[in-house]
Amino acid sequence: MHVLKDLTRSVFNNVDMMVWVVAKNGEILLSEGRGLRPMGIAPGQLVGVNAFEMYRDAKDVMAFVHRALDGDEFIAATVTDGHVVENRYAPLRDEGGAVVAVVGVSLDVTERVRAQAELERQAMLLQNQAALLDRAHDAIIARRRDGIITYWNQGAERMYGYTKADAVGQALNALLKTSAAYSIEEVDRSLLASGYWEGEVIHRRRDGTEVPVASRCVLQRNGEGEPATILEINTDITSRKRIEAEQAHARKQEEIIHAQALAIAELSTPLIPISDDILVMPLVGLMDSSRAKQVVESLLGGLSVTRGRFAIIDITGVFVVDTQVANVLIQAAQAARLLGTEVILTGIRPEVARTLVGLGVDLGAITTCGMLQSGIAYAIERGRKDRH
């Protein structure tokens, strides 16, 4: 008998559970198992103790024991001193079928419950993260190194027109018909070297239309440090590309307009060399302050290069000459004189002459001739006399 008892205790002491028997009067008849030790109870220590007295304040435990004594067999969990214990209750019957005791098998499932709670927490965290990723405007894609898609968020569905079911399991570059200025091998080398790559690529949507994207890729490694997953975030830059194209077009237009303005300015104030000593600037059209300034700049610029002795400004084609224009011509003559050049004004029509007189403009410092031919003849004759 003692041998059997010792064998029974040896068996129970090698399994992580508690086995107990409680009689109808509450007396504990059996209390064995290695699972008692974490609770500070030695195997056999509780034998003879009255369970009803011991668990007087543990209403739930007593309710379970009485339920089993009434004949029910069931499983229930209790919490004792921070330990979650799963208990299997079974009524023990005599030969006549009457319940005489309760047999209980208890297992400490604290770690299992904690692990399950942690798994549920992680699952909830992943669900929340997935929900956040789905709300992102960008396309967020996870793929293996061989390009097979493993994750496809709702942003990717909106951008490309493929559902998650369409995309997962497909090769990314084949699905989106990727085209770029660099090869897949270049991207792979950059990811292996630095763990990161970014650049612009062209993808095709499900309907065949192209979409330019700014792509950023991050390489994730497994627990052994081996390359495992590539997380790719793609942003549709169609609007940005359109704005850049519009800005480039506007800059080109500005350059063309500027070049045209320069050409027009040169044509509107031409400086024509007649000889080494004589230059002619015929003016045509309306004169305002801006064009008058061009006249002075063009005249002085030409004289600084040619060093001509005579500059003939012909205003035959100028319809209106006011005080402002006349003052500019006088200033041009004075500036030219500082360079050693004499300015000759030709083409003053009668109505222009009357206007200048009426305005009180003094052109006495400028040599005037009626016609351009007269001005050229004057310059030639004056130059001959100066040489002799």
Query: Could you read off the pLDDT of 273-310 as tens digits, one per residue?
Result: 888 888 888 887 777 767 777 778 888 888 888 778 89
Question: CB–CB of 312/277 below 8 Å?
Answer: no
The pLDDT confidence band at residue 92, using thresholds 50, 70 and 90, is very high
Question: Where, residue-wise, is CATH 3.30.750.24 in the chain?
Answer: 269-387
The pLDDT confidence band at residue 174, using thresholds 50, 70 and 90, is very high
Write out the two tokens for 320: 């209106």
Question: Where, residue-wise, is CATH 3.30.450.20 in the chain?
Answer: 2-113, 136-236
What are the pLDDT digits (tens) for 217-236? 988 888 788 888 888 989 88
Residue 314 host element (H or E): strand 310-318
Q: Which range has the top average pLDDT, 3-12, 33-42, 336-345? A: 336-345
When computed from its CA atoms, the radius of gyration of the chain, rounded to whole angstroms, is 52
Determine what percent of the chain is predicted with pLDDT higher than 90: 20
Question: CB–CB of 111/38 below 8 Å?
Answer: no
Judged against a pLDDT cut of 60, whether residue 268 lies above it is answered with no
Rounded distance, CA 61 to CA 39, Å?
Answer: 16
**What CATH architecture does domain 269-387 belong to?**
2-Layer Sandwich (3.30)
Residue 139 host element (H or E): strand 139-144
pTM score above 0.85: no
- Residue 75 DSSP SS3: strand
Rounded distance, CA 265 to CA 208, Å?
Answer: 50
| Average pLDDT, rounded, for the chain | 82
Judged against a pLDDT cut of 80, whether residue 311 lies above it is answered with yes
Assess if CATH 3.30.450.20 describes domain 2-113. Answer: yes
Judged against a pLDDT cut of 50, whether residue 358 lies above it is answered with yes
pLDDT at 85: 84
Rounded distance, CA 327 to CA 248, Å?
Answer: 42
DSSP3 helix / strand / coil % (the chain, rounded to 5) = 45, 30, 25
CATH of segment(s) 136-236: 3.30.450.20
In 3D, which of 147, 167, 171 has the Cα closest to residue 158? Answer: 167
Judged against a pLDDT cut of 80, whether residue 180 lies above it is answered with yes
pLDDT at 382: 85
Rounded distance, CA 103 to CA 225, Å?
Answer: 52
Judged against a pLDDT cut of 70, whether residue 266 lies above it is answered with no
The pLDDT confidence band at residue 80, using thresholds 50, 70 and 90, is confident
